[in-house]
Amino acid sequence: MVEQNGRETFSAFSALRRFAREGSGKAEEVATETRESCDLCSEPIPPEHRHLLNISTREIMCACRPCSILFDKKAASEGKYRLVPDRYLFLEDFEMDDVRWASLRIPVEMAFFFYSTPAGRVVAFYPSPMGATESLLELSTWEELEERNPVLGEMEQDVEALLVNRTRGAREHFMVPVDECYRLVGLIRLHWRGFSGGKEVWEEIGRFFEELRERSRTVTGKVAEKGEDKWED
């Protein structure tokens, strides 16, 4: 990741490309190209593994099980690295109508939002053929969304995101690990062709959200209670 004019942009295309291919059912191809290892201890890891986030650089790092357990502890998670959670929620009755979406001035029909500790605020990004692009988000706009959807107050800072999908008539809202958002960015960068993206990229996007729906647990956006056992289905 590099910063330009105070805005975060993500330039680690190789990592995004890897996430994209893993999520596209090409894990065997990836394993043939390179044997993955833990970015902390260099131990070999399977295709399905946890990730850590470097808070200051926004770099996503692969982690073996022992390292992920280590950083699952609260004390460790408050340091330089934070374990990316594995919670997937579909927010069934999320309140964001077309007028509020238009007020965000996001030029595409997808975006993700998360609290950035270095920035000290909630930031908004949308995927594009060039990577993840930041869109200015006014504090009052987010506060209004959070007031209408208390579940947003339970997102883990830096590592969990609100992912909005409004492509091709969809009106879907998910709370997902932030690395899933980067995987979506990687898919788009890897498969985009021409001006409109081409058939392949839209098929990949469709598969991404289909898999996300299957993986997610449906909850109400009005819940604001911590703890997995308190989420309402």
Q: Which residues of 90-108 are buried (b: 16+ CB within 10 A; e: fewer)?
A: bbeebebeeeeeeebebee
Confidence of residue 79 (pLDDT cuts 50, 70, 90): confident
What is the share, in percent, of the chain residues with pLDDT greater than 90? 60
Please check whether residue 110 is in contact with residue 124, taking contact to mean a CB–CB distance below 8 angstroms. no
pLDDT in tens, 34-43: 578 999 999 9
* Mean of pLDDT values over 141-166: 94
Q: Is the pLDDT of residue 78 over 80?
A: no
